[in-house]
């Protein structure tokens, strides 16, 4: 049994408590939050305290999950490492690459295990698209677009404060970039990005990021929390991926979509024009009858509990931790390039 402690028992701390409860081989022994109100519903048999030092001094905690505000991560990871605890830190692991580098030094010095809760590698929609990408069904993929839109999204508490690590790039950007880098598996040549504060004063609530990969993939990631539309299909997550042999699209976190290929790839069309309701066209007419072949999305079986299943196996040396610190560092570095591009209005060379 691996014994866990949670520091920061707010929204995500409670999610971790529920996840650990459902993970065989894991036991939650202690939680800590500086706000005593958050500790009112701590399950029986689990110790509770308001001081991280007290939790870290306990000898019934093997692994500490840090789920406090982003600006607390460096301090708490350092404290946990010095107390000899293995660490899972929430994303974004740090506010900058420089902060992460300091954390890495301390963790190495103390010889503890360190990984990050970037569990959205187990999102079903993402894994579905990744499965199509890996299968090479679409031939040479040249474009990947992913978006996440919310209706009048509610950014709340410290998430709207710059000094505490608020904003959507830190919040969801880290997941979206991590998914893209992990899937495409190629060096990023350049980044062009825009960050906007649509209605927030201090932090970004919209981003649009274009990544140019060395293998020819152009990836576009767009997120907006304030899409005032009554079209329900716009909310949630969307994917579109195009290759020279087909496309795939999906909507929603429980993905609904299709793979579309062709029974015969035509490089030149014999028809001269098609009359469309927007006027005649030679290049953008409909596909001739019978040429498109549609297939269902592949089945994937995963959920966020897989993150902890992997953690426990890796803890016993049976597999690698799904999230490795050099990958986390790469995402943070990319986020810094995103901010540089957004600030200068110029494309930034990356790797
Ligand atoms: N991986 C995910 O999907 C996901 C989802 C949501 C949030 N998060 C991350 O989880 C972390 C917490 O976010 P949240 O939305 O749960 O915030 P939250 O405000 O609901 O919870 C944070 C808690 O930490 C406590 N806290 C702050 N400093 C502390 C300290 N020094 N010692 C002990 N407790 C402290 C606060 O009192 C608060 O209760 C953030 O890093 C966030 O990015 C991750």
Quote the CA–CA distance of 12 and 303 in Å, as a whole number: 16
Q: How far is the CA of 60 from the centre of ligand 1 (A)?
A: 23
Any residues with Cβ below 6 Å from ligand 1, and which?
Answer: 7-12, 32-35, 38, 52, 67-70, 72, 76, 90-91, 117, 119, 157-158, 171
93 closest CA partner among 63, 66, 123, 111: 66
pLDDT in tens, 156-174: 899 999 999 999 999 999 9
Q: How far is the CA of 11 from the centre of ligand 1 (A)?
A: 7
Sign of CA dihedral 230, 231, 232, 234: negative
Instruction: Quickly name the fold that domain 121-302+332-349 has.
Output: Dihydrodipicolinate Reductase; domain 2 (3.30.360)
pLDDT value, residue 150: 86
pLDDT band of 336, cuts 50, 70, 90: very high
* Strand-pair partners of 251: 238, 256
- Atom 33 of ligand 1, residue of closest alpha carbon: 33
pLDDT in tens, 257-288: 999 999 888 787 766 677 777 787 878 777 87
Give strand ranges (E) for 99-169: 114-117, 141-149
pTM higher than the cut 0.85: yes
The neighbour count for residue 33, using CB atoms within 10 Å, is 22
**Which atom of ligand 1 sits closest to the CA of residue 70?**
41
Instruction: Break the chain into its structural domains and give their ranges.
Output: 2-117, 121-302+332-349
pLDDT value, residue 270: 67
Q: How far is the CA of 24 from the centre of ligand 1 (A)?
A: 24
- Average pLDDT of the chain is 95
pLDDT in tens, 89-112: 999 999 999 999 999 999 999 999
So what's the architecture of 2-117 in CATH?
A: 3-Layer(aba) Sandwich (3.40)
Q: Are the beta carbons of 44 and 34 closer than 8 angstroms?
A: no
**Which atom of ligand 1 sits closest to the CA of residue 38?**
39
């Amino acid at each position: 049994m691996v014994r866990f402690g949670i520091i920061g028992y707010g929204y995500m701390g409670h999610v971790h408590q529920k996840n650990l409860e459902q993970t065989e081989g894991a036991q939650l022994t202690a939680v800590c939050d500086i706000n005593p109100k958050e500790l009112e519903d701590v399950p029986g048999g689990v110790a509770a305290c308001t001081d991280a030092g007290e939790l870290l001094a306990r000898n019934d905690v093997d692994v500490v999950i840090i789920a406090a505000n982003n600006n607390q991560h460096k301090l708490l990871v350092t404290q946990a490492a010095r107390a000899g605890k293995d660490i899972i830190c929430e994303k974004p692991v740090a506010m900058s690459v420089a902060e992460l580098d300091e954390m890495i030094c301390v963790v190495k010095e103390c010889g503890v295990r360190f990984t990050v809760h970037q569990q959205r590698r187990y999102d079903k929609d993402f894994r579905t698209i990744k499965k199509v990408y890996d299968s090479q069904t679409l031939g040479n993929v040249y474009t990947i677009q992913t978006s996440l839109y919310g209706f009048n999204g509610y950014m709340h508490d410290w998430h709207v404060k710059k000094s505490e690590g608020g904003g959507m790039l830190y919040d969801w950007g880290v997941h979206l970039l991590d998914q893209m880098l992990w899937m495409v598996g190629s060096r990023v040549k350049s980044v062009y990005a825009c960050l906007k504060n649509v209605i927030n004063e201090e932090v970004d609530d919209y981003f649009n990021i274009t990544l140019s990969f060395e293998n020819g993939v152009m990836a576009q990631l767009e997120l907006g929390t304030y899409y005032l539309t009554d079209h329900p299909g716009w909310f949630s997550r969307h994917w579109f991926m195009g290759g020279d042999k087909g496309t795939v699209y999906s909507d929603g976190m429980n993905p609904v979509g299709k793979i579309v290929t062709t029974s015969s790839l035509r490089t030149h069309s014999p028809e001269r024009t098609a009359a469309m309701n927007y006027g005649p066209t030679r290049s953008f007419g409909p596909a001739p009858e019978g040429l498109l072949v549609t297939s269902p999305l592949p089945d994937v079986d995963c959920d966020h509990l897989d993150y902890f299943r992997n953690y426990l196996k890796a803890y016993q040396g049976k597999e690698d931790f799904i999230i490795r610190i050099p990958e986390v560092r790469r995402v943070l570095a990319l986020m810094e390039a995103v901010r540089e591009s957004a600030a200068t209005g110029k494309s930034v060379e990356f790797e």
